[in-house]
Amino acid sequence: MKVRINWKRAAIALAVLPVAALFVAWLGFFNVGAASGHWKITEWFLHFAMRSAVRTYALPIAPPDGPPPVGVRPAAGHYAAGCAMCHGAPGAPRGATVRAMLPAPPALTAAALADWSDAELFRIVKHGLRFTGMPAWPAQARDDEVWAMVAFLRRLPELAPRDYRSLAYGEAPPDSAGDVANRFEGALAGCARCHGRDGTGGGETVPVIAGQRPAYLAASLAAYAEGRRASGIMQLAAGQADAALFDRLARHYAGQSAPAAPPTDAAPELIERGRAIARRGIPERDVPACLGCHGRPERNPVYPGLDGQRPDYLANQLRLFAAGVRGGTPYSHLMTAFADELTVRERAALAAYFASRPAR
């Protein structure tokens, strides 16, 4: 039997269908209430579509070789401040309100995380998930921070409550770390998650801010809070604090004593190469001497001191400058131009050299 299609009627039907759908939506018959949830078939389809999309978009993502440039501790502090209220944490399960959300944010157990590859977790953390309340990473240019969060999520299920609190809060107890709205002590507790109250930091990838000039610290906090300097971790931390406290926080950390430079295991020839660049620059590539700006006592107050800084942190900041990611001050374009002329080896040499110098 030969089936004949009336194309005119088919075209009319296709034209009327969107109008009919719009009319049904206007009538308000579709129930958008959250109490009843989705139909099972709708829930299955949405979950299926989500997993398929994450899998497809994660295909070109390659995990980095070795640990991420940003350490696990800053990622843990960010998780405690911005993620734990929905996903829970060791010793701090999700509340009833969160469990009643549709869809409910998953508890990040070992079994739940095992369903996702590192590339897929990266995709979810960086871009978020529509229709779920899962936001995108605040600073899309900071893939290093996203990979740090992926590394932390892999460790999360095996952490005991005590170990989690130590990693996520540092010296700041959980009952005060979140109270950063108006009180100085609360704001300082938020900073101390990663930097400690003395500003000496909590790991090789966390900067030493003790003894830095207050103008530099205050300008950095403002740049992070306003999104002019890219960092999802610091944008959340600075954004939660009262901007009126920035100057006081800056003075607190500026008044702390910088620690002595720890012994370095960097090769002497690497340090010597860094010393040569810092003192003379690389004239053939128009790279100026670093000490011309960062080594003078009368330097611009928003230029940071680099002596005694951790090498991993310095190398990563030079990488960010070279990529055009780090900014936030009127002078950041100078560092972007210079850092882009340095090789990876030369950045490592400069980091090793300044890390070997005693802080002033």
pLDDT, tens only, 195-252: 999 998 777 889 999 999 999 999 999 999 999 999 999 999 999 888 999 999 999 9
Give the residue-averaged pLDDT of 166-174.
76
Q: Nearest 5°: phi and psi at 134?
A: -80, 110
CATH of segment(s) 45-59+67-168: 1.10.760
Query: Residues 250, 256, 257, CA angle at the centre, nearest 5°?
Result: 140
The two three-digit tokens of residue 350, written as one number = 């400069």
pTM value is 0.87
pLDDT in tens, 108-149: 999 999 999 999 999 999 999 998 889 999 999 999 999 999
- pLDDT per position as a tens digit, 81-97: 999 999 999 998 888 88
Give the pLDDT mean for 293-314: 91
Identify the pLDDT of residue 96: 86
Q: How far apart are CA 70 and CA 211, in angstroms?
A: 22
Residue 84's contacts (CB-CB under 8 Å, 6 or more residues apart) are 92, 168
The CATH number assigned to the domain with range 268-356 reads: 1.10.760.10
User: Is residue 149 within 8 Å of residue 174, measured between CB atoms?
Assistant: no
CA-CA distance, 88 to 108, in Å (whole number)?
A: 8
Q: Do domains 45-59+67-168 and 171-254 have the same CATH topology?
A: yes
Sequence ranges of the domains in the chain: 45-59+67-168, 171-254, 268-356
pLDDT per residue as tens digits for the range 16-48: 888 888 888 888 877 777 777 788 898 899 999
- 177 pLDDT above the threshold of 50: no
pLDDT score at 251: 97
Pick 171-254's CATH classification: 2.40.160.20, 1.20.1560.10, 1.10.3720.10, 1.10.760.10. Answer: 1.10.760.10
